């Protein structure tokens, strides 16, 4: 089956810019790396942005394929490139049309970034406990607070901040230009993996934006909607890493001799790789099934309202949980396959293991997601799968 053009472009980018560059990609080099410009040169930057704002309008199912390919090369690069979808999808559906067009249009035209400021140190995964505030001041909104983990923020064009409001909505999601006075990067985190990406702690001190910058609807619910896409794409990075691990194992096993024969002919090795292949297929099918369900909603005329009604989709929860767990099994098993060399920086498996770890941590650990799954989809009998 012939690959679509955009996928071949991504594969070519991966081969020329990522494969073999693991040391650089793992070095926490200053962000953004020059290679991000070269991705923009392919014309695929922000591939999911709607055609209405000048984007390519690729679907989430297509995004799954793109992200899995990118993550085959480097999950940190993939994450840097797709995580703006979390922010842009909230803006696309819930910002005033003029505001959405202005910011998404510029983002599309200039291959820019945007970022969401949600999680806080105290609140952790319980966003209901966030302490960042937004208050009305005449025709403006004033934001104050500190946000713990936000990716791409430093070089983003605009941000969406989730804040506690004194208004009736309780929480608001507010679009803030990156260069608004009072927005300060506290520091970039030294992360265990995904080190080609850049995640920041950010402070907001009397940040003032027009009242029209507030998105419509409860901020926490909007965040739930935005996380549907990003969780599915985080899962897709697990798929890409898993494929890279499989191929790395096979490359190693071709030449490595065990008991007088290549490791690739060893029955125990074959059993592990056969299991990996099964798991990879199931991961791929789950990512695509979830993405198609999302795309089906997104293509409805009232998509914004429908997503608001549904909030966190079961498929998004399932996909991130499943791919995080399965990816970790694959990475754990593979990390024992390369002997002593596999425990050194000469082998790529150590990096792949660290990269894989983020899938089960970011945007809700499994404990949080299992609890959410139970409450939303097991307790209500009619919603069970």
- In the three-class reduction of DSSP (H, G, I as helix; E, B as strand; rest coil), residue 217 is classed as coil
Of residues 285 and 300, the one with the C-beta less far from its own copies: 285
Of residues 98 and 259, the one with the C-beta less far from its own copies: 259
Residue 142 and residue 161: Cα distance in Å, rounded? 11
CB of 262 to its own copies, least distance (A): 11
Residue 90 and residue 179: Cα distance in Å, rounded? 20
Beta strands 183-188 and 171-177: pairing type?
Answer: unpaired
* CA dist list (Å): 171 to 121, 131, 214: 18, 10, 10
Lookup: tokens for 381: 């009998």
CB of 27 to its own copies, least distance (A): 12
CB of 313 to its own copies, least distance (A): 11
- In the three-class reduction of DSSP (H, G, I as helix; E, B as strand; rest coil), residue 92 is classed as helix
Q: Tell me if 307 sits within 8 A of 297, measured CB to CB.
A: yes
CB of 189 to its own copies, least distance (A): 5
Of residues 202 and 288, the one with the C-beta less far from its own copies: 288
- In the three-class reduction of DSSP (H, G, I as helix; E, B as strand; rest coil), residue 42 is classed as coil
Phi then psi dihedrals of residue 327, to 5 deg: -60, -40
CB of 103 to its own copies, least distance (A): 26
Of residues 50 and 324, the one with the C-beta less far from its own copies: 324
Of residues 195 and 214, the one with the C-beta less far from its own copies: 195
Cis before 109 (ω within 30): no
Of residues 29 and 271, the one with the C-beta less far from its own copies: 271
Angle at 349 between CA 348 and CA 351, to 5 degrees: 70
CB of 251 to its own copies, least distance (A): 10
CA dihedral 23→25→26→27, nearest 10 degrees, is: 80
Count CA atoms closer than 13 A to 101's CA, side-chain side: 4
Of residues 106 and 256, the one with the C-beta less far from its own copies: 256
Token pair 């549907």: residue: 228
CB of 55 to its own copies, least distance (A): 28
Of residues 100 and 249, the one with the C-beta less far from its own copies: 249
Of residues 98 and 190, the one with the C-beta less far from its own copies: 190
* CA dist list (Å): 38 to 32, 35, 71: 11, 5, 16
- In the three-class reduction of DSSP (H, G, I as helix; E, B as strand; rest coil), residue 114 is classed as strand
Of residues 38 and 121, the one with the C-beta less far from its own copies: 121
CB of 4 to its own copies, least distance (A): 17
CB of 207 to its own copies, least distance (A): 22
Q: Tell me if 119 sits within 8 A of 148, measured CB to CB.
A: yes
CB of 209 to its own copies, least distance (A): 26
Q: Tell me if 93 sits within 8 A of 307, measured CB to CB.
A: yes
Token pair 């819930």: residue: 94
């Amino acid at each position: 089956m012939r690959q679509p053009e955009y996928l071949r472009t991504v594969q070519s980018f991966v081969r020329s810019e990522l494969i073999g560059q693991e040391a650089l990609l793992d070095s926490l080099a200053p962000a953004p790396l020059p290679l991000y410009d070269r991705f923009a040169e392919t014309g695929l930057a922000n591939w999911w942005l709607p055609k209405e704002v000048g984007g390519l309008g690729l679907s989430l199912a297509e995004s799954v394929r793109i992200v899995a390919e990118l993550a085959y090369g480097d999950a940190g690069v993939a994450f840097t490139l797709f995580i703006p979808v979390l922010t842009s999808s909230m803006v696309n559906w819930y910002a005033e049309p003029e505001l959405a067009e202005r910011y998404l249009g510029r983002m599309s035209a200039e291959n820019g970034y945007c970022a969401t400021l949600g999680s806080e140190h105290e609140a952790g995964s319980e966003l209901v406990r966030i302490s960042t505030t937004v208050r009305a001041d005449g025709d403006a909104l004033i934001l104050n607070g500190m946000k713990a983990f936000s990716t791409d923020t430093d070089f983003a064009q605009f941000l969406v901040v989730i804040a506690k409001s004194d208004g009736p909505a309780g929480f608001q999601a507010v679009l803030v230009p990156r260069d608004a006075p009072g927005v300060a990067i506290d520091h970039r985190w030294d992360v265990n993996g995904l080190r080609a990406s850049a995640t920041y702690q950010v402070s907001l001190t009397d940040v003032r934006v027009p009242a029209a910058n507030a998105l419509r609807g409860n901020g926490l619910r909007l965040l739930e909607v935005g996380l549907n896409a990003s969780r599915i794409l985080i899962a897709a990075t697990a798929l890409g890493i898993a494929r890279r691990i499989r191929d790395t194992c096979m490359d190693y096993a071709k030449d490595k001799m065990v008991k007088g024969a290549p490791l690739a002919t060893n029955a125990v090795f074959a059993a592990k790789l056969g299991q990996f292949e099964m798991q990879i297929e199931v991961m791929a099918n789950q990512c695509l099934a979830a993405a198609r369900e999302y795309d089906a909603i997104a293509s409805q005329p009232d998509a914004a309202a429908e997503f608001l009604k549904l909030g966190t989709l079961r498929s998004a929860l399932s996909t991130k949980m499943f791919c995080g767990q399965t990816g970790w099994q694959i990475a754990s098993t593979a990390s024992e396959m390369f002997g002593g060399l596999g425990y050194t920086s000469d082998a790529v498996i150590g990096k792949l293991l660290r990269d894989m770890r983020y899938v089960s941590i970011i945007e809700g650990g499994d404990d949080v997601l299992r609890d959410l799954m139970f409450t939303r989809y097991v307790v209500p009998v009619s919603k069970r799968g």
